[in-house]
Homo-oligomer: A and B are copies of this chain.
Amino acid sequence: MTLIPRLDMAALDAERLDSLTKGLPFGVSSMRIGDVGKQGWSLLDGDIPMPAAVIREQVLLANSAWMRDFTAANGLLIAPHGKTTMSPRLFDLQIADGAWAITVATVQQMQVCRRYGVKRVLFANQPVGRLAVDACMRALREDEAFELYCLADSEAGLAFLAEAARRNPPPSANPLRILVEIGFEGGRTGTRSRAGALALAERVAETPGLRLAGFECFEGVLPTPQAADGLIDDVAELARIAIEEGLFPAGSPVVISAGGSAFFDRVGERFDRVSFSGPVLRVLRSGCYLTHDSIGYAKAFERIQAETTLNLPAGGLKPALEVWASVQSRPERGRAMLTMGKRDVGFDAGLPVPLGWYRPGSGMEKPQPMPAGHEVVALNDQHCHMVLPPDSPLEFGDLVGFGIGHPCTTFDRWSLLFLVDEAYRVTGALKTYF
């Protein structure tokens, strides 16, 4: 396994924010992202317009380090899914903590990686369309130090890749690396049988410009960890067979990989049950561990802590991403409306959870935990409906911090997120590329 180099810090700091960027204080002119942390802004002092997406930097760093330790302790690698955050600054943090590659879902996401210097990308999809596949081939030619893995799951898809490699051949020393994708009936992409996957792998192995690099699946669409076991086992078993059949070129790493953030313990456990006759890289692709969440992944991690037979480092994942909003109206005793909506926070995996509140200018030392009985009941595009207990302390102008579910669909609402310390002072910022 080759480590990939850190990203270009100067380029990251030089990324510019347009003055119209949502989240930037009004009236601030175009600003270098590297300057945001130098302004002395404090969320609790009202220096940041509401709503705002903030990441508690200390929690973020601890999560990243936890995953580094977890993978190291269990013979795993991680190629974190970059689509979650689409923040090159966070890719760099993940690389600093040993990420083997950055995973992406689209060519545009791969291009973001390339601009900032990511040298190994796992494009966890089958390229489709001339523009997409040509961009992949061009990337391999333009930078022979850039390694690209992508998926194939069908004869039609492979024929398309083969034709692209004929038309637009990658350097012989830097072929397009292919992971054969394994799926399941009623699932997403991926071959539906072991025989089909193996036949496809054989075809990949003999296609000029392509290199068979391994097998993978995405188990995250399955409802339970138990349901995922069979699929994960297929990935490992097919790699074992393909190694025995001599399908992989000598000296080239064999990759087995699976995808989600909910069952990553099962991936590690099942991959560990198979004995291979050569070296194999066991690659997780979880993306959400980095900020974690306050709803679904929080629950999934409790299960992992209770059940897994893997080595778990001390501590554990904690929610780092919060969205803050202002109380805009208290129109009824039992109801508050806040300045946050579908435009600002994910709602596809649970409505946001109020965690704490603060009254700017009141002299309160820090945010207070949200008393029981406060609950988000609806989001409109730009409004949050919250029901309150009779003795709710909330007034017009108060700030409320929310935990979120599914980081992917909150990150993609923001081109600017703030890094904050535990007193919610702004220590830096992230620019995203959705």
A25 beta carbon closer than 8 Å to chain B: yes
With beta carbons under 8 angstroms apart, the residue of B23, B49, B129, B135 that contacts A50 is: B129
Q: A203 to chain B: closest CB distance in Å?
A: 15
With beta carbons under 8 angstroms apart, the residue of B128, B189, B328, B347 that contacts A128 is: B328
Contact assessment for B330 and A106 in the assembled complex, using a CB-CB cutoff below 8 Å: no
A422 beta carbon closer than 8 Å to chain B: no
A166 beta carbon closer than 8 Å to chain B: no
Name which residue of chain B comes closest to A139, CB basis: B26
Contact assessment for B156 and A26 in the assembled complex, using a CB-CB cutoff below 8 Å: no
**Interchain CA distance A130-B111 in the complex, whole Å:** 39
A382 beta carbon closer than 8 Å to chain B: yes
Residue total for A at the interface (Cβ-Cβ under 8 A): 75
Contact assessment for A408 and B381 in the assembled complex, using a CB-CB cutoff below 8 Å: yes
Instruction: Enumerate chain B residues within 8 angstroms of A83, measured Cβ to Cβ.
Output: 343, 381-382
Instruction: Enumerate chain B residues within 8 angstroms of A106, measured Cβ to Cβ.
Output: 22, 339, 382
With beta carbons under 8 angstroms apart, the residue of B131, B347, B383 that contacts A189 is: B383
Contact assessment for B329 and A189 in the assembled complex, using a CB-CB cutoff below 8 Å: yes
With beta carbons under 8 angstroms apart, the residue of B183, B335, B339, B412 that contacts A343 is: B412
Contact assessment for A129 and B397 in the assembled complex, using a CB-CB cutoff below 8 Å: yes
Contact assessment for B434 and A188 in the assembled complex, using a CB-CB cutoff below 8 Å: no
List 14 contacting pairs A-B, 8 Å CB cutoff, sorted by A. Answer: A20-B108, A21-B108, A26-B135, A27-B138, A46-B130, A49-B108, A50-B132, A105-B382, A156-B395, A157-B329, A160-B397, A189-B331, A343-B412, A413-B434
